[in-house]
């Protein structure tokens, strides 16, 4: 039943996309794969009962129209991508730089449900889950996705993202030492600092220049590292091309800061991020490449996704429903471990191929076998 649910939801979209577009040249029939072939890694997990709680959530708690909106969002973004982009992604995620994205995501998720079977049992991080769930339900606004689209399309973001994700672990001591030099140390000190920064951003009349100057003062010009990359990202997020405060971006950041402070007044999420990034090492997905690669392609994909979310209120609501539900404390203890298992599986290459086939329909008659 769970396997059929996933297949039916995907197949229901196979005939609805790109019907008004001119059909691309079809490859020979033998080159076309069935949905079962593309989804084999995911279906193997479903057949083994390893995604049963996630499937139950989709079936019993999520409005079918909301799930359809999320899937349609993926297809709309896929159709907007330049030719061949989706086929690059499985390889991109294995490289250094953006290859740190999935390990970071799984490292953030894995501790949240605790380990009730451990000796002694490790309780779930209930307050962190509540904060994550509230963020998903209340902070995913249209303005936020417009801001993210602008930021993701900044040419200078790719090299900064490479540094943050490829060298984040080696940058943790650099960040700690810099903070100690300003009198900030340990988990509690970092949580208090971030709360003060968020409060400053949320205040009327926020000017980013003092914050940028303070961060720039911590950067070693000879070895800018993670601090230098953070400074670049903050400049891109807050200043326009002339170096003046970007009014629309500032307004969105202020709204986001207020939402974060409301959803997580005690800084639980900052503390959790500190534990994951600074305290516990994050293992890479595979061998680290000598040079980061693929970052611009992945940022381009993410920009198309955020742009589609900006346009679609239904997709934003659906995303809030999905993540708000999966991260709800009474649900997360069973659903999050399955989500982590899925993220660590080899399912992505088939999923990207399926999205490509459904969006562009190169094998329309074979794709729904």
The residue ranges of every structural domain in the chain are 124-311
Question: Best-predicted range by mean pLDDT among 100-104, 187-191, 286-290?
Answer: 187-191
Q: Please report how many Cα atoms fall inside a 13 Å half-sphere around the Cα of residue 95, on the Cβ side.
A: 19
Q: Please report how many Cα atoms fall inside a 13 Å half-sphere around the Cα of residue 67, on the Cβ side.
A: 18
Provide the CA 153 distance to its chain's centre, in angstroms: 16
Cis peptide bond prior to 161, omega within 30° of 0: no
Instruction: Give tens-digit pLDDT for 232-277.
Output: 999 999 999 999 999 999 999 999 999 999 999 999 999 999 888 8
84 phi/psi in degrees, rounded to 5: 90, -5
Cis peptide bond prior to 120, omega within 30° of 0: yes
At residue 11, the 3 state secondary structure works out as helix
Instruction: Give tens-digit pLDDT for 325-366.
Output: 889 998 898 889 988 888 787 776 666 666 666 666 666 544
Is the model's pTM score more than 0.85?
Answer: no
**Torsion, CA 154, CA 155, CA 160, CA 163, rounded to 10:** 140
Taking the alpha carbons at both ends of the chain, their separation in whole angstroms is 18
């Amino acid at each position: 039943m769970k396997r059929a649910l996933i297949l039916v939801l995907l197949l229901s979209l196979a005939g609805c996309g790109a019907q008004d577009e001119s059909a691309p040249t079809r490859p020979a029939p033998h080159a076309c794969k069935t949905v079962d072939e593309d989804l084999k890694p995911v279906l193997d997990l479903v057949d083994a009962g390893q995604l049963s709680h996630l499937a139950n959530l989709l079936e019993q708690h999520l409005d079918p129209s909301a799930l359809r909106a999320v899937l349609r969002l993926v297809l709309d973004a896929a159709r907007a991508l330049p030719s061949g982009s989706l086929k690059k992604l499985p390889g991109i995620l294995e490289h250094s730089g953006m290859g740190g994205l999935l390990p970071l995501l799984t490292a953030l998720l894995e501790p949240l449900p605790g380990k009730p079977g451990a000796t002694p049992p490790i309780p779930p991080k209930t307050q962190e889950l509540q904060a994550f769930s509230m963020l998903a339900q209340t902070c995913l606004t249209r303005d936020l996705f417009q801001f993210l689209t602008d930021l993701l399309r900044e040419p200078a973001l790719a090299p900064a993202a490479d540094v943050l994700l490829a060298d984040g672990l080696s940058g943790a001591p650099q960040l700690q030492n810099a903070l100690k030099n300003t009198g900030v140390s340990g988990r509690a000190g970092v949580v208090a600092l971030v709360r003060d920064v968020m409060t400053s951003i949320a205040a009327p009349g926020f000017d980013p220049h003092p914050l940028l100057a303070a961060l720039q003062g911590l950067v070693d010009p000879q070895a800018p590292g993670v601090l230098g990359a953070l400074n670049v990202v903050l400049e891109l997020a807050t200043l326009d091309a002339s170096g003046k405060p970007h009014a629309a971006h500032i307004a969105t950041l202020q709204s986001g800061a207020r939402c974060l402070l409301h959803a997580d007044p005690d800084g639980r999420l900052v503390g959790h991020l500190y534990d994951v990034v600074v305290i516990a090492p994050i293992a890479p997905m595979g061998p680290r490449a000598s040079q980061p690669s693929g970052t611009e392609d992945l940022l381009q994909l993410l920009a198309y996704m955020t742009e589609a979310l900006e346009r679609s209120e239904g997709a934003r609501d659906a995303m809030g429903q999905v993540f708000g539900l999966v991260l709800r404390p009474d649900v997360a203890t069973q659903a999050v471990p399955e989500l982590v298992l899925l993220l660590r599986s080899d399912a992505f290459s088939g999923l990207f191929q399926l999205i490509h086939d459904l969006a562009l329909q190169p094998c329309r008659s074979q794709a729904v076998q």
